[in-house]
Structure 1
Amino acid sequence: MNANTPPEAAAVHPAIAPLSYLLGTWRGQGEGGYPTIASFSYGEELHFSAISGKPVISYTQKTWKLSSGEPMHAESGYWRPKLDGSIELVISQSTGLVEVQKGSYNAQEKTVKLHSQLVGNASKVKEISRVFEFANGELSYVVQMATHLNNLTPHLKAVLKKL
């Protein structure tokens, strides 16, 4: 690869290959809620990119209010899949919360299941799980969250299409 080769054209590391369907930009809508907050809808964009020859996927996410386009939440981090089907994520959120998640992926079913190992810099959030599924050309996910008041409870869900 030379300085004129776009990063997307670089060789994908073998650990990334089973998740290569994620690479690119996804956009769609989601719904959120929790026992302690009012339900809401949002627009969302996810971007996954391979880092040239490395066993890591760079990840960014941003959401906005559907009614006004006003920014809501953002996060970024790295997905680190292993050849044995395990995966680790490190994520920092615009709220200051940080997550370290571990889980597994199934390349044939195109699913990723994650559970927090560490939630830092959060006074109320104690645990987070995420499940991503790719089917019929759509990427969907469900996020569950536990706080000091509630056990693991559905919080967010969205359906996204690749741009």
Structure 2
Amino acid sequence: MEKENPAIHPAIAPLSYLLGRWRGEGEGGYPTINSFRYGEELQFSHPAPGKPVVAYSQKTWKLSSGEPMHSETGYWRPKPDGTIEVVIAQSTGLAEVLKGTYNAEDKVIKLQSELVGNASKVKQITRVFELVNGDLSYVVQMATNLSSLQPHLKAVLKKLP
């Protein structure tokens, strides 16, 4: 018999505020592309309470038409020492292995790519997630073979009930 509310693994507890679905809007751009706006939904879940892992999924769509744009999925593995490992597979075929830190008190997560796989142009990615007044905001920066680290995406998302 499955428990209704299984306990959260102790390693996940500092990030438990992320668990659930978040929805909002973002904007993107880069020196080599036109700026754009998008709708987005993120989901963080703890599918295996006995394991120190958070499952992550993301999808975006065009605000004007609702047409799907991008999606990615992966796993976040926080460590008791405040470090975190993240793996993300994108719908474009790109794969990211990121490492970073989280601050449970300030609710800030900073990630830096260790590896960007299957990417001909992308060389580096950083992601910073922050809880601000109950909203989840993030900034993604990217470096390519043609440019240094530049802002690429940013969004503000509200937690869904």
Q: Give the distance between the partners of 1:135 and 1:126, measured in 2 at CA.
A: 29
Identical columns (%): 74
Partner of 1:75: 72
Partner of 1:43: 39
Q: Give the distance between the partners of 1:68 and 1:39, measured in 2 at CA.
A: 17
Q: Give the distance between the partners of 2:99 and 2:49, measured in 1 at CA.
A: 23
Q: What letter matches 1:161 in structure 2?
A: K
Q: Give the distance between the partners of 2:121 and 2:114, measured in 1 at CA.
A: 16
1:34 aligns with 2:43: no
Partner of 1:14: 10
How large is the RMSD of aligned CA atoms in angstroms?
A: 0.7
What aligned pairs does 1:13-162 form with structure 2 within 5 A after superposition?
13-50=9-46, 51-162=48-159
Q: Contact between 1:64 and 1:71, CA under 8 Å: does it hold in 2?
A: yes
User: How far off its partner does 1:144 sit?
Assistant: 0.1
Q: Contact between 1:10 and 1:53, CA under 8 Å: does it hold in 2?
A: no
Q: Contact between 1:47 and 1:61, CA under 8 Å: does it hold in 2?
A: yes
1:57-86, CA deviations, whole angstroms, 9 ceiling, x for partnerless residues?
Answer: 000000000000000000000000000000
TM-score where L is the length of structure 2: 0.97
Q: What letter matches 1:74 in structure 2?
A: S
User: How far off its partner does 1:10 sit?
Assistant: 1.2
Unaligned 5+ segments in structure 1 are none
SS in 1 for 2:140: strand
SS in 1 for 2:77: strand
Unaligned 5+ segments in structure 2 are none
Q: Give the distance between the partners of 1:149 and 1:14, measured in 2 at CA.
A: 43
SS in 2 for 1:46: strand
User: How far off its partner does 1:54 sit?
Assistant: 1.0
Q: Give the distance between the partners of 2:31 and 2:61, measured in 1 at CA.
A: 21
